[in-house]
Structure 1
């Protein structure tokens, strides 16, 4: 069965971007430190990134994150989801209005205007059998999917940085019980995996 996996890097104080995040400053001030693990030479960091990419059948992101990755300072052949891996998943963007054009035309983009439940349904259809639907963010998208009870597994890459402000992942809402499945400590992050029950 296809799992819905929320996968996100977070600071010790609970932020998924630094302050002043926007299209030209995607991770906000100081937010690049959240993803140090994804570019490290640590063997365990590389394994976690490689395995996560290999499991991805379809990836969901919100419109603000899409505007960052598709913007002029966004993804390229060298930087982006699965950029150094073989194959690329389908991408599903939650938005109130699709963009007029897309810069990254070599990727499979689908724009869903009817909410997170429909975005997950579309992503499930696009994901090959046995592969995960991955919610990569932003924080509001993952939060809304958690609130809707649509997430099966939460992957948190806890970065050793305190940002002080930015985009929080958790902003209240329903209580969720998590079952810890694994903890991997590397030189750049603590990688935590939880089942959501």
Structure 2
């Protein structure tokens, strides 16, 4: 995709934007100049220059806890530090991962034995088709990666008019 402005024109537009401001340009010129600045690594004109950091007083207990030097403290740091409670380390009783799936044991059995098995029975046809799609597409982390399981819907002979989902681990990691 080529720009409708040449490099010389973009340099001129850049100078205009630096001198007169970003609003002095038309919308198409701003778009083209913004893309050119990104491509060439230049800072877009009209952006506010970063302000020098001013040291802040107060909040010594917060800053000492993280070891931040007195001259590097800003009002933003103080505001952020007051919004949290700092800990020395993670507690021993943290919970890792997501809550267990209803199908966690089924997945383990499928992977271990490699044979088709009934994942769930006594379901409506719609719910059985949804579960089949979830298994095939790896929609939840339990059934990932996509295509690792073959899943089919069959009539459930143990329930009147119900359906069951049968799945088999076919591999994929």
Normalising to structure 2: TM-score of the pair?
Answer: 0.22
Which has the larger Rg? 2
More strand by share: 1
Normalising to structure 1: TM-score of the pair?
Answer: 0.20
Q: Of the two structures, which has the highest relative contact order with CA contacts closer than 8 Å and spacing of 6 or more? A: 1
